[in-house]
Structure 1
C-alpha cells in the first residue's frame, strides 16, 4: 500500500462498513475468508455466559463494592484452584488497624501523624476512595479501635 493511497482506501472501507451491520460483516468474513469480529466492550465481556462458564469472568461479592463481575484467574490449576478473597481497598483503608493493632499507636499518636500529613487516606478522586454508596462510618476495619455505628 502506497502512503498516498491510504487515505482513499480508508475512506472506501469506511463508506462500505457504514452500510453494513456488524453481523453482516462477520457473516461476509466467514464466507469470504477474511478476518473480522465484533469489538467487545467491558459490559459485553462481563456478561458473556461462556466466559463465566469457563471462569475467565467470575461473579464476586465484596463488602465494600458489592456484587461485581471480575476477571477470573489467569491459570486454571486442578490441584490448587485459585480464588479471590477480597479486592483492593482504598488508600489508607487499613491505617488504623495496622497502626493500633500491630504498632501500638494511640488515637492521639495517629491524630498527630495525620495533622503532620505523615499518614492519611484517600483523597476525593474516583478509584482512590470508596464508592459513594458505602458508609465508612460503619466499617469496623477502617474505624479500628473506634466505636462503630450500627
Structure 2
C-alpha cells in the first residue's frame, strides 16, 4: 500500500510551474534573439581586432536546467540551532558536538522517513556511509543514538 504524503499534488504543481517558466523564457529569448545576434556580431568584431578569428556567442540556454535556476527560498537562508527559549545561532557558530549531533539526527530522520522496503519488508540499503571516528566530539547519549542509527 502506497503511503500518500501530500507531495504528489505539490510535485505536479511544481512541474506545471517549471513548464510555464520555460515557455516564458523561450518567448523572451525569441523576442531578444535579433538583439542577441547583433550583440554577438559586434562583440566578435571587437574581440577579433585583438584576437583574430575569435568570436563571441551568447547562448541563453532557455530550457536547459530550468529546475536548477529557480530558487524557492531566499538566498540568505540559514540553519539555526539553539535552546528553544534562548539564543539561536547559525550552525557554523555551533561547536563540534552540536554539529555532529545534528548530522546524526538528520541521518536518523532520513533513515526513518525515507527508507525503502523490499517486497519481503526488509529495508533496502542503497547507500554507503563512511565516517572516520563517528563518535568523536559527541555526548554519550548522542553516541548511543548514533549507534542506533547505524
Q: Which has the higher helix share?
A: 2
The TM-score normalised by the length of structure 1 is: 0.23
Normalising by structure 2, we get a TM-score of 0.23
